[in-house]
Amino acid sequence: MKSKKNHSLKFKVKDMDIATGGTLVAILNTKDAHKLDLHSGDRILLKTDGREQVCILDISESQKAVPEGKIGLFEEVLKKLNVKKDSAVQLKFTGKPESVKHIRSKLYGKRLSYTELLHIIDDITNDRLTDIEKTYFVAAGFVNGWNNEEVVDMTRAMVKTGYKLKFSGITLDKHCIGGVPGNRTTMIVIPIVAAAGFTIPKTSSRAITSPAGTADTMECLARVELPEKKIKQIVKKAKSCIVHGGSMNLAPADDKIIDVEHPLSIDAEGQLLASVMAKKFSVSANHVLIDIPMGKQVKAKNWKQAKHFKKMFMLIGKKLGMNVKVVITDGSQPIGNGIGPFLEAMDVMQVLKDDVLAPQDLKHKALIMAGALLEMTGKYRKGKGLKVAHEILESGKALKKMNEIIELQGKQKKVKIGYYQHIVKSTKIGRVKEIDNEIISKIARIAGAPQDKGSGLYINKKIHHPIKKGEVLYTIFAENKFKLGLAKEFAKKNHGYLIL
């Protein structure tokens, strides 16, 4: 039998009319695969008119799905090769990417070099690895950990394989490692800092396991999916933007790694650190503020873990030539009143309007963050930043700046709060001892957040608040009756409050 390496045949394209969501897949009929001694999971190289693409092979038992002499291509492959139905493509067998060997080495506990990590990250970025191979990469890092050099090298590899937005001079950025519902400080900090005259482009994420990400919340007010040219124009005019980073191809391997981590419910520390810093480095940020919430249900569960995260972020920042400041904050309960995109956007706008009814915890935290960023520029002495942040907010300059950003990005049609509502009341008298962030997030998500922008919770009671029997803890909002029913049933079993 001939060696696989010598096989080179032409096949006619069959458009499978299916997208995988990333992985590059081609399908051969079982008879053709048998003749070529190819098996499911093998890599094949497809060539046509100056373009070529490595794909992962699947086998079809059915003549109807993929007949002999044809090759079924998924949407991603059709786009990469720029081919249509019945186009001719040349097929060659090719071995597994070198990065698979490096993943195997990491599984055995070996320290990976920059070159090895670059191979892996490049193959993840360009969809050359199967979901199984990516899962093993994530699992290897989770089990064996990453040392400081590997984390820095992984960060550099993520930046190199993505796009970089370049801004000159002082460029600021902030990031929160997450876990706290309603913690929408970014949308208040950005207009304050920009109103002070500093460049602060914000590329934000969408929610993965939370009821809203910054991009989901901002999308209630303005467009967030914008091309690079438009973003640069906005930043030039307004000194800032609040857009979705996923559409920008900034450190794209990060999103593909998150897709693998999500179903496993794991978040390997090294990959978390690398992904955060890569995204900051990709927008030319030279002064970065990191918010590390500490509490039972967040990533930093105690002072020891929080200090460790702080040390690592500062170390990576130093190695990349970035000025990084880390603040450890209270992650024991939700921040603000609204949980869910539209409800959180309402909180943000109330704070920016300096409304007396605005959530004071959200306002206080955002001002501290904005003050810290202003001081990082070196233009303000310690303690002065907070005072300036207060002045900018209270004068209306921050609101004016936010409205400018919204107009430049493109105002959205008004989102409405969920029509269907259910009030959750306390069944006892006492004081709020604890609030379960995970349960609160879960109820908001079951109600429809973040996909249904008007769904979520409005919280009335926080930790230490005294409470009477029958008083309102929170209200659930949903855009349809069915989802409200599901959220209501879940909240009956566990409303997320410990009252003593």
Q: Which of 32, 123, 267, 436 is catalytic?
A: 267
Q: Decide which of 24 and 396 is more confident.
A: 396
Quote the pLDDT of residue 190: 98
pLDDT in tens, 393-409: 999 999 999 999 999 99
pLDDT > 60? residue 139: yes
Half-sphere exposure (Cβ direction) of 461: Cα atoms closer than 13 Å:
30
Mean pLDDT of 39-43: 90
pLDDT > 90? residue 446: yes
pLDDT in tens, 101-123: 999 999 999 999 999 999 999 99
- Report H helices in 249-359: 253-264, 269-282, 303-319, 341-352
Q: What single-letter DSSP state applies at residue 56?
A: E
Quote the pLDDT of residue 5: 46
Q: Which of 23, 138, 133, 142 is nearest to 77 (CA)?
A: 23
Residue 345, phi-psi category: left (phi > 0), alpha (psi -120 to 50), beta (remainder): alpha
pLDDT > 70? residue 347: yes
Spell out where 61-205 has E strands: 70-73, 88-94, 172-176, 200-204
Length of the chain: 500
> Inter-axis angle of helices 269-282 and 303-319, to 10 degrees?
40
Active site residue 267: yes
pLDDT in tens, 61-99: 999 999 999 999 999 999 999 999 999 999 998 888 899
Domains along the chain? Answer: 4-94 (2.40.40.20), 99-145 (1.20.970.10), 172-409 (3.40.1030.10), 420-499 (3.90.1170.30)
**CA 79 – CA 58 distance, rounded (Å):** 18
In percent, the amount of the chain with pLDDT more than 90 equals 79
Quote the pLDDT of residue 2: 44
Q: Decide which of 292 and 275 is more confident.
A: 292
**Rg (alpha carbons) of the chain, rounded to whole number:** 25
Token pair in block for residue 156: 């550099």
Quote the pLDDT of residue 258: 77
Contacts of 485 (CB under 8 A, 6+ apart): none
Token pair in block for residue 389: 């942040």
Average pLDDT across the chain, whole number: 92
Residue in the block written with tokens 């929610």: 207
> Inter-axis angle of helices 148-160 and 114-125, to 10 degrees?
40
Q: Which of 249, 254, 287 is nearest to 271 (CA)?
A: 254
Mean pLDDT of 141-150: 92
Task: Identify whether 450 is preceded by a cis peptide bond (ω within 30 of 0).
Answer: yes
**CA 61 – CA 491 distance, rounded (Å):** 48
Residue type (1 letter), 286 = N
Mean pLDDT of 133-137: 91
pLDDT > 50? residue 357: yes
**pLDDT class of 318 with cuts at 50, 70, 90:** very high
Quote the pLDDT of residue 8: 61
Quote the pLDDT of residue 19: 87
Token pair in block for residue 151: 């984390």
**pLDDT class of 470 with cuts at 50, 70, 90:** very high
